[in-house]
Amino acid sequence: MTLPSSSSSIATTTTASGGAFSPFALLSDDIVLNILAKLETDPRDWARLACVSSLVRTVCCRSRCYRSLPSDLLPSTAASAAWPSLHKLCVCCPGLLRAGVLLEHSDFGLERDIGPHRSVPFCSSSCPPIPPSQIHPETTDSCWSLFDDLYFDTIYDHSEFQDAVLPPIDSSPSETAVRGGSAATRKRKKHRVGPAGAHLASGPWTVSREQGSKLLASRFRGDCLYMCDWPGCVHAEEKRKYMLFRGVFKNFKRSRVWKTISDSNRGKIALGCAFCACRETWDLRSAFCLRRVFGFHDDGEPVVRAYVCENGHVSGAWTERPFLVHWYVFFILLILMMLRFGIVIVNLVESG
Amino acid sequence: MARTIKFRSSDGEVFDVEEAVAMESQTMKHVIEDDCADGGITLYNVTSDILVKVIEYCKKHVDAAVGSFIKALGGVDKDLESWDGEFVNVDLAIQVDISNASNSLNIEGLLDLTTRVIADNIRGRSHKRSVRSSTLKMSSRPRMRNGFGRRTPGRS
């Protein structure tokens, strides 16, 4: 009786000329899968082995996704390239960088929304105002942005000021330019406590639609956004605590959020996705896709921020809503208390 | 006297193995039950040094099971566990060969033991060490840019 030899399991190990030969290369795929199954408890082991074994991406990630994700989110084909991204989304926190926490927010994100500030040259009386059609002579396909509206609201028609003699302002562009743009690009050195890059998420490695419905505005109620459980991965930084979350849209290209983004022709920002190869994402807050109750902190940082890539992967961060104490409210209350106290004393004196 | 089965390794060495020990392998169990083992069994993918180790494992576990009331009650035999730990305390190449042999012979306990040891060996390695270490290359196939392996002709 003879047993057929398997082409993948050769008993002798030989050293190939010109380099070391790996004994692991002799293992058959089912043994490799057996070993990988024993390494499932720590996803970082799979991440390390993904570069040396394709089975991690093709088989292991798929089996893990089947067990931990809702069936709605699972790709229809077993050979889909989305399995590694979905698996990473389950277990990996995007980190402060990909969640947008490290973006400059001192200008409330205006430079990212409406573009950098352009210095407005002051024209003399001999210089006619530039009509809108000539503002962008080269970029015929550029859309009309909010910045253009603001610009043309501020220039005035010289025909209304025929008699006025206005001295020309002779100054260098660097002095006339409002420093808002430079303030936005000024990089403040921030001392970070936690990791800026992606890392293993703390908390449960599951996603649910219930969490996603808390993020989106009411008109996007029909979209299925699955997000990790509250509070996500908590990063206690110097200034405030950030609760980093991650999520994914089901059928993103058929969602209302996608329609809103594409119809409004919103520009992407140079913030890469933490879960796939997308190098740019859309800001859901500036696209008005998040609940309007979320506001800003005093330093311009949004209470909630979220960024979505073309594949529907969402990264973001919650912060605790600021407790606004207006100083004038405090003084008004103090004055009222003093008045009341004064009235009480006067009454006592009169009665006494 | 217990019946013995002749096993021939890939390098031609012959071993006489008791039937009870041979039946630790599910593959051999089916061959023996089908009365196909009378002329001996040749294992083309197991060398003599690995076959010796496999037979040693099977014999130890058969002997331990016969006299073990703890195992019958579903408990854990600490002495046997300790012996298993010493048994797989060998070079990685031998661990891989034993793993392959146990897979082809369908010896579940030995396969689980060897894969567990290999996994422990891999666990906790840093990323750089994993990538640079030639011992961890699980496939000699060239890698495509998107990370998926490409099948080379003639290899499974």
DSSP of A193-214: -S-SS-EEPSS---EEHHHHHT
CA distance A21 to A12: 12
The pLDDT of residue B48 is above 90: yes
Who among A1, A38, A54 is closest to B31 (CB)? A1
Cis peptide before A231 (omega within 30 of 0): yes
pLDDT value at residue B111: 96
The pLDDT of residue B70 is above 70: no
Residues B9-47: pLDDT tens digits? 999 999 999 999 999 999 999 998 998 878 889 999 999
pLDDT value at residue B75: 66
Neighboring chain B residues of A84 at a CB cutoff of 8 Å: 147
pLDDT class of B74 with cuts at 50, 70, 90: low
Distance of CA A120 to the CA centre of its chain: 32
pLDDT value at residue A322: 61
* Closest residue by Cα to residue A111 from A315, A262, A300: A300
Interchain pair B137, A13: CB under 8 A: no
pLDDT value at residue A213: 86
pLDDT value at residue A192: 63
Neighboring chain B residues of A56 at a CB cutoff of 8 Å: none
Who among B46, B104, B137 is closest to A22 (CB)? B137
Chain A residue with CA closest to B115: the answer is A35
Who among A6, A24, A38 is closest to B138 (CB)? A24
Cβ of residue A8 closer than 8 Å to a chain B Cβ:
yes
pLDDT value at residue A320: 80
Host H or E run for residue A111 = helix A110-114
Residues 6+ positions from B35 with CB-CB distance below 8 Å: none
Ranges of residues in chain A with a pLDDT under 50 are 2-19, 130-142, 156-187
The pLDDT of residue B8 is above 60: yes
Chain B residue with CA closest to A79: the answer is B148
pLDDT value at residue A117: 64
Interchain pair A48, B135: CB under 8 A: no
- The structure tokens 């406590």 sit at A193
- The structure tokens 């490409």 sit at B150
At residue A260, the 3 state secondary structure works out as helix
Q: What percent of chain B has pLDDT above 90? A: 54
Degrees (nearest 5) of the Cα angle B124, A28, A16?
85
pLDDT value at residue A11: 34
Residue environment code for A325-337, b if the CB has 16+ CB neighbours within 10 A, otherwise e: eeeeeeeeeeeee
pLDDT value at residue A174: 40
pLDDT value at residue A189: 52
pLDDT value at residue B43: 92
Chain B interface, mutation test: which of A48, A60, A80, A87, most B Cβ atoms within 10 Å?
A48
Residues B118-127: pLDDT tens digits? 999 888 666 6
Neighboring chain A residues of B112 at a CB cutoff of 8 Å: 34
**What's the pTM value of the predicted model, to 2 decimals?**
0.65
Interchain pair B130, A51: CB under 8 A: yes
| B9 CB burial (10 A radius; 0-12, 13-18, 19+) | buried
Chain B residue with CA closest to A23: the answer is B93
ipTM exceeds 0.85: no
Edge-first strand order for the sheet with B41-43 is: A2-3, B41-43, B4-8, B14-18
pLDDT value at residue A18: 41
Who among A8, A26, A57 is closest to B148 (CB)? A57
The mean pLDDT value of chain B amounts to 80
Q: Find out whether A286 and A110 touch, Cβ atoms under 8 Å.
A: no
HSE (side-chain half, CA atoms, 13 Å) at A29: 12
Which of A17 and B109 is assigned the larger pLDDT?
B109
| A148 CB burial (10 A radius; 0-12, 13-18, 19+) | middle
Tokens, residue A127: 């210089």
Which of A67 and B129 is assigned the larger pLDDT?
A67
Neighboring chain A residues of B50 at a CB cutoff of 8 Å: 11
pLDDT value at residue A181: 39
Q: Find out whether B80 and B32 touch, Cβ atoms under 8 Å.
A: no
User: In this structure, what are the phi and psi dihedrals at residue A307, rounded to the nearest 5 degrees?
Assistant: -130, 135
Q: How far is B116 from chain A (nearest CA, A)?
A: 7
Q: Find out whether A56 and A35 touch, Cβ atoms under 8 Å.
A: no
CA distance B23 to B31: 9
